[in-house]
Amino acid sequence: MKETDKAVGIIGLGSYVPDKIVTNCDLEKTVATSDQWIVERTGIKERHIAEAGMTTSDMAARAAKEALKKAGVSAEEIDLIIVATVTPDMLFPSTSCLVQDKIKAVNAAAFDLAAGCSGFVYGLVTGSQFIKAGLYKKILVIGAETLSRIVDWTDRGTCILFGDGAGAAVLSELSPGFGLLGSELGADGSGGEFLKVSAGGSAMPASQETIDTRQHFLSMHGNEVFRFATKIMGEAANRALEAAGLTSEDVDCFVPHQANIRIIQSSARRLKIPMEKVFVNVEKYGNTSAASIPIAMEEAEREGRIKDGDVVVLVGFGAGLTWASCVLKWGKGE
Ligand code: COA
């Protein structure tokens, strides 16, 4: 999708990860795995895990406050809050409503968006349209997850992969030429079986049996997700670049969903983007699903890896199956 009319983009980023760190060596004590296996197959060394009592909305609110501060925007100025998450505090009210109350964004509408690990980019593209249409001026898009609460800590195939955290972005109108230049949102529902939490919804309400059979935990076909991810990351990024009238040679910083270093390296290869231009922090946080891209962007900007005028490409993939990519011209352009 080529972005036209008003220029819309990010004017402030924030992130939050819980203090508690669980290393691969810690996991060696609870499941049959090894630090070496996890590092070789995934690139992950440690992940941050929320203490009991800390919720998705708590982390989302902290990230949001930092993003507002950096943007120089007050909570009252926010017109809409979109929280991308697959680990809401509860089925309802939405996590975005809980965040609205926690940060006192009293003038904001609020809704959640469930697109798995693609959720933040889905939210970014969706939120931007409200500003382009003239309906809203300032929007908070947050990716926040407490995956540790839905991970089966007895399943070595999945428990090593995930972590908790939140990242937030304030969207606003920018000077022409800046912000969102192109994007692609996609889905293939036929792959829904590959990554899911089966129980707790209308198809399989909570019962003693669903608990006994561990169906409230995340289940995954790792190989199928891996195959899908390596193919779609490059394709989706290329189509967003094409929509923006750019090629991968124009990219200054590629910020992919942080799921697995091998998936990131493979998509960079397919895109012909050298690894020096790829931002990677999967070793520190694991896969934080919808939070991974905003956490990575915030860190990339703080470290000077993303600068004003840079062409930045974001691409995510995840449960659904879904994918989402976008091209941003960084900075406000004043
Ligand atoms: N420690 C040690 N051995 C493990 C292990 C662990 N944590 N997890 C799995 N294994 C074993 C398997 O049981 C298997 O053993 P077997 O050959 O005796 O059956 C062997 O390692 C190879 O398993 P396999 O699943 O083929 O490994 P892989 O190289 O495909 O890596 C993933 C597994 C999960 C790391 C990889 O498939 C992956 O990253 N997939 C994408 C997942 C993802 O990104 N999900 C989130 C999407 S948003």
For 85-130, write each residue's pLDDT tens digit: 999 999 999 999 999 999 999 999 999 999 999 999 999 999 999 9
What is the number of alpha carbons within 13 Å of residue 79 lying toward its C-beta?
12
Alpha-carbon distance of 254 to 61, in angstroms, equals: 27
Q: Which two tokens stand for residue 97?
A: 């409503």
> What pLDDT does 333 receive?
79
What is the number of alpha carbons within 13 Å of residue 282 lying toward its C-beta?
26
Average pLDDT over residues 50-63: 98
| All domains in the chain, ordered by first residue | 7-177 (3.40.47.10), 181-329 (3.40.47.10)
Instruction: Clarify whether 24 is annotated catalytic.
Output: no
Q: For a substitution probing ligand 1, which of 223, 263, 287, 288 has the most ligand atoms within 8 Å of its CB?
A: 223
User: Helix (H, G, I), strand (E, B), or coil: what is residue 82?
Assistant: strand
> What pLDDT does 5 receive?
79
**H helices then E strands: how many in the chain?**
11, 13
First to last CA, the chain: 26
Average pLDDT over residues 204-208: 97
Instruction: Clarify whether 257 is annotated catalytic.
Output: yes
Cα Rg of the chain (Å, integer) = 19
Confidence of residue 49 (pLDDT cuts 50, 70, 90): very high
> What pLDDT does 32 receive?
96
Alpha-carbon distance of 168 to 12, in angstroms, equals: 8
Q: How far is the CA of 227 from the centre of ligand 1 (A)?
A: 12
The structure's pTM equals: 0.96
User: Helix (H, G, I), strand (E, B), or coil: what is residue 210?
Assistant: helix
Confidence of residue 181 (pLDDT cuts 50, 70, 90): very high
> What pLDDT does 4 receive?
66
